[in-house]
Amino acid sequence: MLAYRHAFHAGNHADVLKHTVLTLVLRYMNQKDKSYRVVDTHAGAGGYSLEGRYAQKKGEFEQGIGRLWALDDLPEPVADYVSLVRQFNPKGKLEQYPGSPAFAQMLLRPQDQLRLFELHPTDYRILESYLGTARGVEVKHADGFDGLKGQLPPSSRRGIVLIDPSYEGHGDYARVIATLRDALTRFAEGVYMVWYPQVTKVEAAELPRRLEALAPKGWLHARLTVQELDAQGFGLSGSGVFILNPPYTLHDQLLALLPWLVDTLGQYDGANYLLEQRAA
Ligand SMILES: C[S@@+](CC[C@H](N)C(=O)[O-])C[C@H]1O[C@@H](n2cnc3c(N)ncnc32)[C@H](O)[C@@H]1O
Known catalytic residues are: 164
Q: What is the DSSP string of 22-82?
A: HHHHHHHHTTSSS--EEEESS-TTSEEESSSHHHHHH-GGGGTHHHHTT-S---HHHHHHH
| Distance in Å, CA 169 to ligand 1 centroid | 13
pLDDT tier for residue 58 given thresholds of 50, 70 and 90: confident
On the question of pLDDT at 1 being above 70, the answer is no
pLDDT value at residue 195: 98
| Distance in Å, CA 280 to ligand 1 centroid | 30
pLDDT value at residue 109: 98
Buried b (16+ CB within 10 A) or exposed e, 130-146: bbeeeebbebbeeebbe
pLDDT value at residue 229: 87
SS3 (DSSP) at 276: strand
| Distance in Å, CA 269 to ligand 1 centroid | 32
Question: Whole-structure pTM over 0.95, yes or no?
Answer: yes
pLDDT value at residue 119: 96
Question: From the alpha carbon of 117, which atom of ligand 1 is closest?
Answer: 21
What confidence tens digit (pLDDT) does each residue in 187-242 have?
999 999 999 999 999 999 999 999 999 987 899 999 999 999 887 878 899 999 99
Ligand 1 lined by 119 (C-beta under 6 Å): yes
Q: What is the DSSP string of 182-248?
A: HHHHH-TT-EEEEEEEE-S-HHHHHHHHHHHHH-SS-EEEEEEE-S---TTS-S--EEEEEEES--T
Question: From the alpha carbon of 22, which atom of ligand 1 is closest?
Answer: 8
Pairing of strands 191-198, 272-278: unpaired
C-alpha span between 36 and 23 (Å, rounded): 15
Question: Which of 166, 175, 176 to mutate for ligand 1's pocket (most ligand atoms within 8 Å of CB)?
Answer: 166
C-alpha span between 258 and 228 (Å, rounded): 18
pLDDT value at residue 217: 85
Find the mean pLDDT for residues 3-14. 92
On the question of pLDDT at 169 being above 80, the answer is no
pLDDT value at residue 251: 98
pLDDT value at residue 3: 82
**Domain ranges, ordered by start, for the chain:** 6-278
> Which option is the CATH number for 6-278: 3.40.50.300, 1.20.1560.10, 3.50.50.60, 3.40.50.150?
3.40.50.150
Find the mean pLDDT for residues 17-25. 98
Ligand 1 lined by 145 (C-beta under 6 Å): yes
Mean pLDDT of the chain: 95
Ligand 1 lined by 254 (C-beta under 6 Å): no
| Distance in Å, CA 119 to ligand 1 centroid | 7
pLDDT value at residue 232: 82
What confidence tens digit (pLDDT) does each residue in 129-154 have?
999 999 999 999 999 999 999 999 99
Give the up-direction half-sphere exposure of residue 262: CA atoms within 13 A in the CB hemisphere. 17
| Distance in Å, CA 78 to ligand 1 centroid | 24
pLDDT tier for residue 175 given thresholds of 50, 70 and 90: very high
What confidence tens digit (pLDDT) does each residue in 66-77 have?
999 999 999 999
Ligand 1 lined by 141 (C-beta under 6 Å): no
Residue nearest to atom 3 of ligand 1 (CA): 44
C-alpha span between 24 and 22 (Å, rounded): 5
Ligand 1 lined by 42 (C-beta under 6 Å): yes
Ligand 1 lined by 2 (C-beta under 6 Å): yes
